Amino acid sequence: MDYGSGNTSIVIGEGSDFNITWADDFTILKEIESLLGQINIASGYVARDALSNALDPKVRYCLDRCDSSIQSASELIEAFTFLDATIFHNRQMHASLHQKITIQSDKSEEFILYLSCLRDALSTLLNTKDGVAPVSTYEEV
């Protein structure tokens, strides 16, 4: 994927009628949404602390804007969308605004790395009992 250079915006999805449709180039967001859905069925939400424990330490800062309970993929990417005043926090409110969801092109590599680590961490949580990652998943030594 070639996303250009500079501070151009990359459309990663679009919100309308209370739904978010992710761009075809970002199918990983659909995977993340699916994993979240499976975890939400079992426990109602993903605990930020459990996800942080399962997430690669180099991208943990991306969870800083998340609440203690996470229910949607849009919450998980707020660190990348907030700078454009695209406030994701309330998925239904945001999606009802009929707007494009973008990230800055100069953040695209960091975004892709985060999404990959996030998918791995959510898979780990899904495969552990009650969606709680073991503390030692990425525990610092």
Average pLDDT across the chain, whole number: 80
Rounded to an integer, what distance in angstroms lies between the CA atom of residue 113 and that of residue 69? 22
Look up residue 9 and give its two tokens: 């915006």
133, pLDDT greater than 60:
no
* Neighbour-count burial of 121, counting CB atoms closer than 10 A to its CB (0-12 exposed, 13-18 middle, 19+ buried): buried
Note the pTM of the prediction, 2 decimals: 0.78
Across 124-141, average pLDDT: 59
Are 141 and 55 contacting, i.e. CB atoms less than 8 angstroms apart? no
62-71, 82-91, 108-117, 121-130: least confidently modelled range: 82-91
Which candidate, 23, 3, 13, places its Cα nearest to that of 100? 13
- pLDDT (0 to 100) of residue 123: 94
Are 67 and 52 contacting, i.e. CB atoms less than 8 angstroms apart? no
